[in-house]
Structure 1
Amino acid sequence: MKYLILILTFSLCYSLNAQEKELKSKTFLRVYDLNGKKIAKGKLLSTDKSSLTLKRNKNPITISFENIGSIKTKRSGGNNILMGASIGAGAAILLISGSGGSPNDYDVLTGIGTLIFTVGGAGIGAITTIDKNSRTFQINGDPIKWEAFRSLLNSN
C-alpha cells in the first residue's frame, strides 16, 4: 500500500511540473550596477532596447540598461567549489555508511572520510574554475555598448 501511494504521488506531481512554460535561454547572468555592486542574477529571459529581463526564483526581474555597469556570464568560481565539496561530503557519507563495523569505528571513519572527501571535492571544484570561460561585459549605461551586448547575445 505504501508503494502505491508513493507511485501515485510522484505521478501526480510530475504532471504539475509540466505546466510551467519552458525557459528559452539557459544563459546565467550576474548584473552589477555602476558602482560595481551586484544588483541581480538569474537566467536570461529577454532583452530589448531599454532593459534586460532575468528570471530568478520563477519571478522576472527587469533592469534598465542605464543602471547596468557590467554583466558577467556564468556563475562565480565559488559555486564550483561549493558543489564539489558538497558532492565529496555526500559521497563520503554514502560510502562509509554502507560499510560494516562497530559504532565507534563508524564515527571516526565518517568524520575523517567526510573531511578528506570534502577537501578533495573542493579541490576538484577549484580546478574546474580554470576552464569556466566566464565573460564580463562593461555597459556603464552606454546605449552603444548595450546594443553591442544585445547583438552578441542574439548571435549565440
Structure 2
Amino acid sequence: MRTTVILFLLVFFSVQVYSQEKSYNDLPFVRVYNLEGKKINKGRVLKVTDSSLVLISRKDQVEIMTGEIGKIKTKHSAGSNIFIGAFIGAVALGAAGVATAEPDTWFGYTQGEGAFGGGVLGAAGGGILGWITSLFKNSKTYSIEGDTQKWMDLKQKHLLGNS
C-alpha cells in the first residue's frame, strides 16, 4: 500500500514539474514573408525584440530584422493539413487492406492489392478531411511592411507569443 502511494506521488509531482517547462511545440508557429511577398523563413517564435523576430526550428535559430518583414502568417499552411491527413489515411486504410485480404473469396484480393487500394482510398479521404480541417484553422496574417511602428504595435499586443 505504501509503495503505491509513493509511486503515485512520484508520478504526480514529476508531471507537474515537467509541465512547467515550455517545450518546442508550445511556442507559436509562424511563416515570415519579405517585402515582395516571398516566404523567407518559418519556425517557432523564440523571442520578439524591438527590432527583430527570433525563430527557432528543429535545426537552427534565425533572427529576422523588422525592416525585412513584409507580413507574418500564423500556423501552418493548408497544405500541411492536407498532407498529414492524406498520410494518416493512406497508412490506416493501407494496413486495413492488408489485414482484410482474402484472395480465395469471390471478390478476393491479395495483401499487395489491399495495401495499394486502401492506401489510395485512404490518401484521398484523408486529404479531403485535411482540407476541411484547414478551413477552420483560424490562422492570422499580420502586415508589417518593414514598418517599425506596425512592429511595435504587434509586439505590444503580444500577438506573437512571448516578448
What root-mean-square deviation, in Å, do the aligned CA atoms of Structure 1 and Structure 2 show? 2.4
1:111 aligns with 2:121: no
How many residues in Structure 1 have an aligned counterpart in Structure 2? 138
Cα deviations by residue, 1:81-117 (Å, 9 ceiling, x for unpaired): 0000000001012212223424952232222221111
- Tell me if the contact between 2:101 and 2:114 (Cα under 8 Å) persists in the aligned partners: no
**Aligned counterpart for 1:146 among listed residues 130, 144, 151:** 151
Amino acid of the structure 1 residue aligned with 2:81:
N
- CA drift of 1:24 comes to 8.4
SS of 1:153 mapped into structure 2 = coil
- Tell me if the contact between 1:82 and 1:125 (Cα under 8 Å) persists in the aligned partners: yes
- Tell me if the contact between 1:24 and 1:45 (Cα under 8 Å) persists in the aligned partners: no
Gaps of 5+ in 1: 1-17
Instruction: Find the aligned partners of 1:112 and 1:23 in 2 and give their Cα distance.
Output: 37
Instruction: Find the aligned partners of 2:130 and 2:93 in 1 and give their Cα distance.
Output: 16
Higher alpha-carbon Rg: 2
**Aligned counterpart for 2:125 among listed residues 120, 125, 138:** 120
TM superposition score normalised by structure 1: 0.79
1:47 aligns with 2:48: yes
Q: 2:81: which partner in 1?
A: 80
Q: 2:102: which partner in 1?
A: 101
SS of 1:87 mapped into structure 2 = helix
- Tell me if the contact between 1:25 and 1:44 (Cα under 8 Å) persists in the aligned partners: no
Question: Identical aligned pairs, as a percentage?
Answer: 36
Instruction: Find the aligned partners of 2:150 and 2:40 in 1 and give their Cα distance.
Output: 19
Instruction: Find the aligned partners of 1:72 and 1:155 in 2 and give their Cα distance.
Output: 10
Q: 2:142: which partner in 1?
A: 137
Amino acid of the structure 2 residue aligned with 1:133:
N
Judged with a 3 Å threshold, the aligned counterparts in structure 2 of structure 1 residues 119 and 32 are, in CA distance, closer, same or farther, namely same
Amino acid of the structure 2 residue aligned with 1:74:
K
Instruction: Find the aligned partners of 1:41 and 1:96 in 2 and give their Cα distance.
Output: 37
- Tell me if the contact between 2:93 and 2:122 (Cα under 8 Å) persists in the aligned partners: yes
Gaps of 5+ in 2: 1-17
